[in-house]
Amino acid sequence: MWEDFKSQFILNFVDDGRWHYLANGLLVTLKLTFFSVLLGLVLGFCIAMIRNIHDNTGKLKIPNFLCNLYLTVIRGTPVVVQLMIIYFVIFGSVRIDKVLTAILAFGINSGAYQAEIFRSGIQSIPKGQMEAGRSLGFSYLETMTRIIMPQAVKNVVPTLLNEVITLLKETSIAGYIALEDLTKGGDIIRSRTYSAFMPLIAVALIYLVMVRLLEFAAKKVERRLKKNEK
């Protein structure tokens, strides 16, 4: 039993340096997650602002329409389909870096969800805050950036970290465009060694550890933000 386990372990991870598939894959997964979250953050923030300005002032009709279209399309279709459309259709004839393509796809996808998170964060701030800012002479935009957003962002940090966790797991479909992320790395080992158990369980465990670390960080951040309040 133990001997069997040991030989399987050596076959899957040590021989030919196969652990490199997992290590390199993990790096790609982390890179994808990090930059997609950043892109999504920028997109989500801008969209939430545009929609909020529209809802409160009636301005920005066309940008608001485009935002709603974007949200409908992105949230109404599977992310794997979006990824393939971006890779095979939009960038079908130009060869650009696969990692970049994936970051674009996941970032655009995440932006739609982060936009909703920001929006609910803005709506959670009592309307007296906007009135207080305006009554002092701040414009709508100044009140938004100086008074509303700092409070809203603080409120949504825990939810945003959840989105990071979701995204980390979602990037496991990057293999669809032959990108060697963590999941694909495990799959490559499986196809070389014809044993599924070890590589796939290893991949699952690595994801689990990453998610737990993020959850731990989220709790820490949440506690620190709470402490600042009082």
Contact residues: another protein, CB under 8 A: 126, 128-129, 131-132, 134-139, 142, 146-147, 150-151, 154, 228-230
Nearer to another protein by Cβ, of 92 and 150: the residue is 150
Three-state DSSP string of 12-40: HHHHHHCHHHHHHHHHHHHHHHHHHHHHH
Measured between its terminal Cα atoms, the distance across the chain in Å is 58
SS3 125: coil
| CB neighbour list of residue 132: distance below 8 Å, 6 or more residues apart | 147
Q: Name the one residue in this structure whose structure tokens are 């030919």.
A: 16
Nearer to another protein by Cβ, of 123 and 195: the residue is 123
Nearer to another protein by Cβ, of 46 and 125: the residue is 125
Nearer to another protein by Cβ, of 17 and 128: the residue is 128
Nearer to another protein by Cβ, of 118 and 207: the residue is 118
What φ, ψ does residue 108 adopt, rounded to 5°? -65, -40
Q: Is 184 exposed, middle or buried (0-12, 13-18, 19+ CB in 10 A)?
A: buried
Please state, as a whole number, how many other Cβ atoms lie within 10 Å of the Cβ of residue 6.
10
Nearer to another protein by Cβ, of 66 and 132: the residue is 132
Query: b/e string for 111-128 if b means 16 or more Cβ within 10 A?
Result: bbbbbbbbbebbeebeee
For residue 195, the minimal CB distance to another protein (Å) is 55
Rg (CA), the chain: 22
Alpha-carbon distance of 133 to 137, in angstroms, equals 7
SS3 99: helix
